[in-house]
Amino acid sequence: MNADELIESFQDFKELKNIDRVTMMHILEEVVRNMVRKEYEDDENFDVIINPDKGDLEIWRNRTIVEDGEVEDPIHEIEYSHAIKIEPDFEVGEEVSEEVKIHDFGRRAILSMRQNLVAKIQELEKDTIYKKYKDRVGDIMTGEVYQIWKREILVLDDEGNELVLPKSEQIPTDYFKKGDTVRAVVSKVDMRNASPVIILSRTSPVFLERLFEMEVPEIFDGLITIKKIVREPGERAKVAVESYDDRIDPVGACVGMKGSRIHGIVRELRNENIDVINFTSNPTLFIQRSLSPAKITSIRLDDEKMRAEVFLKPDQVSLAIGKGGHNIKLASRLTSYEIDVYRESEEDFEDVDLEEFVDEIDHWIIDELKAIGCDTAKSVLDLSVSDLVKRTDLEEETIKEIVGILRAEFE
pLDDT value, residue 348: 45
3-131: CATH topology is N Utilization Substance Protein A; Chain:P; domain 4 (3.30.1480)
Q: What's the CA gap between 381 and 397, in Å, rounded?
A: 15
Residue 17 has pLDDT above 80, yes or no: no
Q: What's the CA gap between 116 and 126, in Å, rounded?
A: 15
pLDDT value, residue 346: 47
Domain 354-410 belongs in CATH node 1.10.150: yes
Residue 302 has pLDDT above 80, yes or no: yes
**In the chain, ranges of CATH 1.10.150 domains:** 354-410
pLDDT value, residue 236: 94
Sign of CA dihedral 9, 10, 11, 15: positive
* Helix intervals (H) in 107-204: 107-134
**In the chain, ranges of CATH 3.30.300.20 domains:** 222-347
ω into 293 cis (within 30 of 0) = yes
Residue 1 has pLDDT above 70, yes or no: no
Average of per-residue pLDDT across 251-267: 93
User: Going by C-beta distance under 8 Å and a sequence separation of 6 or more, which residues neighbour residue 37?
Assistant: 43
Average of per-residue pLDDT across 171-176: 94
Cα–Cα nearest to 45, from 83, 90, 78: 78
Whole-prediction pTM: 0.66
pLDDT value, residue 18: 56
Q: What's the CA gap between 380 and 361, in Å, rounded?
A: 13
Mean pLDDT of the chain: 86
**In the chain, ranges of CATH 2.40.50.140 domains:** 138-203
Question: pLDDT band at 407, cuts 50/70/90?
Answer: confident
- Residue 247, judged by CB atoms within 10 A of its CB (0-12, 13-18, 19+), counts as exposed
Question: pLDDT band at 345, cuts 50/70/90?
Answer: low
Cα–Cα nearest to 150, from 175, 167, 165: 167
Average of per-residue pLDDT across 2-22: 58
Q: What's the CA gap between 177 and 276, in Å, rounded?
A: 32
Least confident of 4-13, 290-299, 366-375: 4-13
pLDDT value, residue 386: 86
Question: pLDDT band at 210, cuts 50/70/90?
Answer: very high
Residue 233 has pLDDT above 50, yes or no: yes
222-347: CATH topology is GMP Synthetase; Chain A, domain 3 (3.30.300)
Percent of the chain with pLDDT over 90: 40
Q: Phi and psi at residue 280, in whole multiples of 5°?
A: -150, 150
Average of per-residue pLDDT across 307-329: 89
Q: What's the CA gap between 134 and 188, in Å, rounded?
A: 7
pLDDT value, residue 380: 87
138-203: CATH topology is OB fold (Dihydrolipoamide Acetyltransferase, E2P) (2.40.50)
Residue 214 has pLDDT above 90, yes or no: yes
pLDDT value, residue 277: 95
* Range among 100-114, 135-149, 302-316 with highest mean pLDDT value: 135-149
Cα–Cα nearest to 9, from 30, 24, 22, 26: 24
Question: pLDDT band at 134, cuts 50/70/90?
Answer: very high
348 to 42, 286, 316, 342, 343: CA distances (angstroms):
95, 23, 14, 12, 9
Q: What's the CA gap between 104 and 344, in Å, rounded?
A: 95
Question: pLDDT band at 10, cuts 50/70/90?
Answer: low
132 vs 42, more confident? 132
pLDDT value, residue 323: 86
Q: What's the CA gap between 228 and 241, in Å, rounded?
A: 7
Average of per-residue pLDDT across 354-358: 83
